[in-house]
Amino acid sequence: MDIENKTKEELIKEIELLRDRISKLQESGAECELMEKQCQNLVQKGKDIMFMLDADGYIKFISPLITEILGYTQDELVNRDVGDFVFSRDKNKTDAAFNELLKTGELTTELTFLDKKGQTHLFECYAGVIKENNQILGIRGIVRDITKRKKVEEELQETKRQIEFVLGHTKTGLDIIDSKFNIRYIDPEWQKVYGDPKGKKCYEYFMDRKEACPHCGIVKAFATKETVVTEEVLVKENNRPVQVTTIPFQDKNGEWLVAEVNVDITERKQMEKELDRYRKYLEDLVRQRTEELKTINEKLAEDISRREKTEQELRESEKRYKNLWDEAPVAYHTLDTKGIITSVNKTEANMLGYKPKDMLGKSIFDFILPEQREEAKKRFHEKLTGKHLAKAERRIYVGNDGSNLYVSIDDVLERDNNGEIIGIKTTMVDVTESKKMEDALRESELQYKTTINSMRDAIYVVDADLRIILCNKSLQRWLQDMGLKAEVSGKILFDVIPFFSDKVRNEYRQVFESGEILTTEEHVNFGGKEWVTEVRKIPIEENNKIVRVLTIIRDVTDRKKTEETIRHLAYHDILTNLPNRTLFNNRLALELNRAQRNKQKVSVMLMDLDRFKNVNDSLGHSFGDQLLQSVGKRLSEIVRSSDTVARMSGDEFILLLPETPHIRDVTKIAKKILKAIKKPFLISGKELNITTSIGISIYPTHGEDAETLIKNADIAMYQAKKSGRNKYIRYTANSK
């Protein structure tokens, strides 16, 4: 028998069939023995655990496979409550599942059990009730250990999260496309840029095209079933260049798909462009040098007598071109000991808008912003003394067109062959754009501080030592309202807010370790004041490490009070503040379930006030409303704390009396109600006499569901009215 490949439902059905056949073939010993062996084979060799419970949840039979998994023998499990082996966290879930099973007849769920060593095992459980003549005899079912499967599923989810995290932090995009150019998958970081891909073809989504390019990598990969590498530009991202590796593969159903790995090659393209520019520069230089050498060789051929002079010129030429500084990518000049420019390259001259010859022989200080000249001269003279200064300095130079250029300068002393200082060599880099970015960053920081200070929520940031490094004014006002110091920057959080518990400390530790946002609700009671706050802790990451946590505290006290008021009004009568019909029906359903489980009785009393319409017509509805409030109060004082008094509608009230095993208990309460209502009511200075009629129905005698019990109590109440009012009547079949 192929047991391991059968589903739980097939196994249960096969066991039932085998048992029927065994009972029918009792007289045939050989065939009966064969059927018994088949049944035992299912129980002994199956990978699922079969069990039977009685109606109270006690184990009556369980497969021996349970010993391999939980370590208990069958003898240790039989006649034990199955709840004894459930993990404490799943106790309530087990009770709810058991009630649902008894109600519906069958159930599939997942529960965690403890083995003999205290280790947890996750089981997938299927169970169904065993009935005879509509009486529940027990429960039979199958459980399967899915602990390893769940662990594998969790590991797969973590692997997916890690892959998406890596893709999001390396500017690498991943998508999966089918043969009709539909997007089957796209990583979350790309979705943030491009939006929802639903209903769009890949060429529409990424490239804003109306149809696929016939030469694109996707078409070629599907045609050849081989990996294709192409380069594309993403028009939706300012033509950002990417290298696309298109990999065809088949899914588990045999459908061909392609996975596209999109790697950002912006830096590579920039480097290739820079290398190409430098290559052309070198080619031009070689060409120039070649022409010069050709001229020199011609002169050498013409006049050998001038060879010495020509060789000297050649050495000077080689020395001049060896530096190549005139075409260098950085600005460069040399100064004598008085600050006069003795040489300058084209890069610097072009940067300032001059020709090199226009700068030679002039003081370098003539090109510096007037406000900075004295400081520049002071640094120049300190440098000539050999004093060690900071490596880089920023100065503002004035261009030929009057514009200001921010430059970063770096200079070294120039010495002669004897070691004497003869001047200074200086390199300069234009950092004007960087300066603008710094100014923009400072402006952004100012806007950020202005924004958080304008927020009503209390906001602060702590480092890994829980030291406050930033807060807004709302936090300071909040602390002042509680009589605490508002100066918190640089202080430990728990020194500033003393009522924070170890629970809060553990929550911060959890956020630093997990890197996940944590939202909690905190009830604050300090200095005679109470708040309900919603606290959101948001991790801040730098270099793949959580270094700070941003905390936002929002006062939700008023919102919680409003929610509680709305919740109360949904289940209570506005006039009498008694439970309404909805709350009564909920409680009645719960008590009927409990009574069915514990074989108890539940009573329902439905009553209304006799001739109440006359009160409204003669004295007014306001008077009648006050009377209804007084009646509700008297009824609440009569019943037990476990009973429920509810107002159904108008002058109609209904009572729920659980655990009333004897009819005398019910009639005693009914008599007390008649007596209490008959006592005069003092309403707005007027004395009013009124009576009531009561109808009674009892579970399970007069009905097994809420609707039937209420209907029969209503019938009995109207029978009491017909019989002269001011009395109670218990429902009977003749009441109809």
Between the ranges 72-76, 386-390, 448-452, where is the mean pLDDT highest? 72-76
What average pLDDT does the segment 155-167 reach?
64
Find the angle CA(557)-CA(561)-CA(567) to the nearest 5 degrees: 145
pLDDT tens for 90-103 read 888 888 888 888 88
Of 292 and 316, the one with more pLDDT: 292
Which of 333-342, 362-371, 522-531 has the weakest average pLDDT? 522-531
Instruction: Tell me if 460 sits within 8 A of 468, measured CB to CB.
Output: yes
Residue 76 has a CB neighbour count (10 Å cut-off) of 15
**Mean of pLDDT over the chain:** 81
Query: Residue 26 above 60 pLDDT?
Result: no
Instruction: Tell me if 605 sits within 8 A of 654, measured CB to CB.
Output: yes
Which of 150-164, 452-466, 656-670 has the weakest average pLDDT? 150-164
Of 363 and 158, the one with more pLDDT: 363
What average pLDDT does the segment 697-715 reach?
93
- What does the pLDDT read at residue 322? 47
Q: Which residues contact 382 (CB under 8 A, 6 or more apart)?
A: 389
Find the angle CA(89)-CA(91)-CA(92) to the nearest 5 degrees: 100
What average pLDDT does the segment 200-206 reach?
83
Q: How sure is the predictor about 721, in pLDDT bands with cuts at 50, 70 and 90?
A: very high
- What does the pLDDT read at residue 32? 41
- What does the pLDDT read at residue 725? 92
Query: Residue 471 above 50 pLDDT?
Result: yes
Q: How far is CA 233 from CA 185, 194, 304, in A?
A: 21, 14, 61
Q: How sure is the predictor about 669, in pLDDT bands with cuts at 50, 70 and 90?
A: very high
Which of 173-187, 278-292, 438-452, 557-571 has the weakest average pLDDT? 438-452
Between the ranges 5-14, 35-44, 277-286, where is the mean pLDDT highest? 277-286
What average pLDDT does the segment 183-204 reach?
82
pLDDT tens for 263-315 read 878 777 788 788 788 788 888 887 888 787 788 877 766 766 677 676 676 66
Q: How sure is the predictor about 501, in pLDDT bands with cuts at 50, 70 and 90?
A: confident
Nearest to 127 by CA among 114, 115, 111: 111
Between the ranges 142-156, 297-311, 329-343, 637-651, where is the mean pLDDT highest? 637-651
Query: Residue 45 above 60 pLDDT?
Result: no
What average pLDDT does the segment 528-549 reach?
83
Q: How far is CA 159 from CA 163, 165, 289, in A?
A: 6, 10, 59
331-335 vs 59-62, strand pairing mode: unpaired
- What does the pLDDT read at residue 606? 95
Query: Residue 163 above 70 pLDDT?
Result: no
Q: How sure is the predictor about 666, in pLDDT bands with cuts at 50, 70 and 90?
A: very high
What average pLDDT does the segment 173-189 reach?
85
Largest alpha-carbon pair distance within the chain?
154
